[in-house]
């Protein structure tokens, strides 16, 4: 036998149950997590999409690649300039729509909104979320889940954006 050749490894003497446990642990560690704090919804202008909204925690909504410019719906109260319901008669109290379905808060710097349903109703909430390019219709189902994020992704807007690698024909 030559000195530069290594001896052939011997078969494992570990019990089969230990090998199975190790393989399961590796599989679980590399498997995708079934619980996700992100709802990615594919949407297009004018087409309704469904998502879940937490009944106890705020739910963040953002549009992939664009800031939210406006939100329309049956809003209970809001800190947003464009989504505020008509003021009531009192000068000192915040504007409240007593029949509203959700509280809306805007983060104008990030271009995203936070919503939280009000009341005990189980009916879905209709919400229209607009960017400069499109208005998306959300049908939000109430769920007793932790805080979450809804990301609206519009595949058709990617077609409208110029491709910097291929600027197109030069005229």
Q: Which alpha helices (H) appear in the chain, and where do they start and end?
A: 16-30, 155-160
Q: Are 125 and 72 in contact (CB under 8 A)?
A: no
The DSSP output letter for 12 is: P
Please tell me the pTM assigned to this model: 0.66
CA distances from 21 to 15, 34, 170 (A): 10, 21, 61
- Whether the per-residue pLDDT at 24 is higher than 60: the answer is no
Of 54-68, 101-115, 157-171, least confident by mean pLDDT is: 157-171
Q: Are 25 and 18 in contact (CB under 8 A)?
A: no
Q: Tell me, what's the pLDDT at 25?
A: 47
């Amino acid at each position: 036998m030559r000195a530069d050749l290594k001896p052939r490894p011997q078969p494992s003497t570990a019990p089969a149950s230990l090998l199975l446990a190790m393989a399961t642990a590796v599989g679980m560690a590399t498997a995708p997590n079934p619980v996700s704090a992100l709802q990615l919804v594919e949407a297009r202008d004018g087409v309704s999409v469904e998502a879940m909204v937490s009944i106890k925690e705020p739910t963040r909504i953002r549009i992939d690649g664009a800031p939210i410019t406006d939100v329309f719906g049956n809003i209970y109260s809001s800190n947003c300039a464009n989504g505020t319901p008509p003021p009531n008669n009192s000068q000192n109290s915040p504007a409240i729509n007593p029949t509203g379905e959700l509280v809306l808060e805007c983060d104008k710097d990030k271009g995203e909104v936070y919503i939280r349903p009000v009341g005990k109703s189980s009916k879905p909430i209709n919400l229209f979320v607009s960017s400069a390019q499109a208005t998306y219709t959300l049908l939000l189902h109430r769920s007793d889940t932790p805080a979450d994020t809804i990301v609206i992704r519009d595949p058709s807007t990617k077609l409208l954006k110029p491709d910097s690698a291929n600027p197109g024909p030069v005229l």
